[in-house]
Structure 1
């Protein structure tokens, strides 16, 4: 049962975040375009984001990652957002805050979502400003520090530097390293999750390169190309393969 899965899940119990860095938001929506749009807006405003294409992936993500807020779509194949919210609240009324999002804006749907334990309900379409206002208000209610007003400009690992506004990577020599859009997104995703094992499918979702499933080898090709450009192709010390699971970025990352 879903309830049993969640009750065995360390991500289900909610404690206001004391972790360093920006709040973590989990986006659960089967619409790839909507996930990409939400990721773009939230990341641009200083939040750390994870995503899931359905309820089953959501449960896997929660098992591995503590999150501060869930943006949960209502109409999804398999397990609906209503069912997921109901089961989360059956386990613990104080579980992670949930904002439901849906193309169905009828009052009855909003009432249903709120009665099942959702903390807020947003009807599609909605603007970026409304989304950000509701997210920040919910995080304040949970005593989680909202995203900082000053956005990150650089990520550093060793003598390497990533200029976030310019979307550029600079080698220790100071030379600019040419990266494709997919390679850059993959690198930033790894830098945002250092020393943490990430599976292939979540890594594809988080890096926004393109969607895939567990058998998709696109991520392996991107990692190989990125290793080559980092001079890590032979040693594989910076981006390490975790057999049968995915990858881990082993270097310490400095945020500026």
Structure 2
């Protein structure tokens, strides 16, 4: 999965990145909420991990804004040093799908990311989708070629194509499609 991480503490950021890379995820790191919000408009992420305390805003406000104004439909894992029940409830009510208290434990972080991925339709060790022989999916580089010629696709178009190839012969509802790929 491609995961966007909003965390201003560089040590914590590096720790999260290492955990996610070890689990073979693609990671994009952000220190400021404005950077993440801009990136969600330009790139496709499968999941976001957002810290509460940020230099330019409150992580809960970021989650609420992503849900209410930016039409973000993907899963959000909220992380913070606070473990109070009220804080957990507030994060979930604001739009987080899961909550993880610091200090983060690598195995639990990966397990929660995997669980959110499964709920969103992504398998953590999904084999490359089967597709007709004329098409070749280059999953590491995120592109598709037809009869050996690379096709210029946006990240969203690539995700749609791989989704369709992985679900050949299956019906996909519009709602499920929007949930998996976003608007």
TM-score interval for Structure 1 and Structure 2 normalised by the shorter chain: 0.5 to 0.7
Matched, 1:121 2:99: yes
Flag the 1:92–1:64 CA change in 2: closer, same or farther, 3 A.
closer
Residues 157-168 of structure 1: pairs in structure 2 closer than 5 A: none
- The CA deviation at 1:194 is 7.9
2-structure distance, mates of 1:59, 1:94: 10
Secondary structure, aligned partner of 2:107:
helix
Matched, 1:102 2:44: no
1-structure distance, mates of 2:19, 2:72: 27
Larger CA deviation: 101-110 vs 59-68:
59-68
Structure number with greater Rg is 1
Residues 142-153 of structure 1: pairs in structure 2 closer than 5 A: 142-147=120-125
TM-score (norm. length: structure 2)? 0.66
* Bigger proportion of residues as helix: 2
2-structure distance, mates of 1:30, 1:193: 28
**What corresponds to 1:64 in structure 2?**
42
Taking only aligned residues, the RMSD between alpha carbons, in angstroms, comes to 2.1
**What corresponds to 1:53 in structure 2?**
31
Matched, 1:39 2:20: no
Matched, 1:82 2:51: no
- The CA deviation at 1:102 is 0.2
**What do the CA deviations read for 1:4-34 (whole angstroms, capped 9, x no partner)?**
xxxxxxxxxxxxxxxxxxx101110010111
**What corresponds to 2:171 in structure 1?**
none
Structure 2's unaligned 5+ residue stretches are 128-139, 144-183
Secondary structure, aligned partner of 1:146:
coil
In the alignment, is the contact (CA less than 8 A) between 1:101 and 1:121 conserved in 2? yes
1-structure distance, mates of 2:29, 2:126: 21
TM-score (norm. length: structure 1)? 0.48
Structure 1's unaligned 5+ residue stretches are 1-22, 150-191, 196-256
Deviation beyond 2 Å, 4+ runs, structure 1: 91-94, 192-195
Flag the 1:91–1:147 CA change in 2: closer, same or farther, 3 A.
farther
- The CA deviation at 1:91 is 3.2
In the alignment, is the contact (CA less than 8 A) between 1:46 and 1:148 conserved in 2? no
Secondary structure, aligned partner of 2:121:
coil
1-structure distance, mates of 2:57, 2:85: 22
Equivalenced residues, count: 131
- The CA deviation at 1:63 is 2.1
